Amino acid sequence: MSERESEFRQALERICLGSDDHALEFIETYGPHIQRVVRRRLHQSMRSKFDSLDFVQMVWASFFADPQRIARIKDPDELIRYLVVLARNKVVEESRRRLTFKKHDVQRERPLDQVDVAGSASRQRQATPSQIAIARERWRRMLRDQSERNRRIVELRMGGATFVEIGETLGIHERTARQVIDSLALSSAE
């Protein structure tokens, strides 16, 4: 066994015994190997969610959590191969989770400036023809008992007129038009 391999084995033994100094030395020496693998394997759409150092930390956490596995490593090349496999597995595992499962799918995410909030909400809540027919029938029944002025207020409001416009058209105060609509809305909810 060469002197380099002997120093390597001693450092591994100290790491297994809990030496923080040797652990930090390993992180500084072998961390760049992990980082290169992660950067090559990390899917473009996940780069906004994860930094390559996130995966490097996950690899080191797994590495230091298994002292028995650390003790079986024979030389620096085997260590690098083991760390590379750990890194690949971490990236693949997280990529599957983030790209395969709908709940965490990063490809479904959109920047806020590209989201049509009003449009998407209206597309999701479009009433069915039967719901529209039922709503119209309820309005007709409700309006049947109302005065001509109140019916006209409802027609104008449903036509898109503002309360100010309704008031000007019918010669009433805007608050009166608002109160009529509010009272009808309350009675329809009951």
- Burial grade of 136 (CB within 10 A; 0-12, 13-18, 19 or more): exposed
pLDDT tens sequence across 94-134? 877 776 666 656 556 666 666 555 555 445 568 888 888 88
pLDDT tens sequence across 46-91? 777 777 788 888 888 888 888 888 888 888 888 888 888 888 888 8
79 backbone dihedrals φ, ψ, rounded to 5° = -60, -45
What CA–CA distance (Å, rounded) separates 84 from 77? 11
What CA–CA distance (Å, rounded) separates 133 from 127? 10
**What share of residues in the chain are helix, strand, coil (percent, to 5)?**
80, 0, 20
Where do the structural domains in the chain lie, given as residue ranges?
3-107, 126-189
Architecture in CATH for domain 126-189: Orthogonal Bundle (1.10)
Taking the complete model, does pTM exceed 0.85, yes or no?
no
- Domain 3-107, classified CATH 1.10.287, yes or no: no
What CA–CA distance (Å, rounded) separates 52 from 34? 9
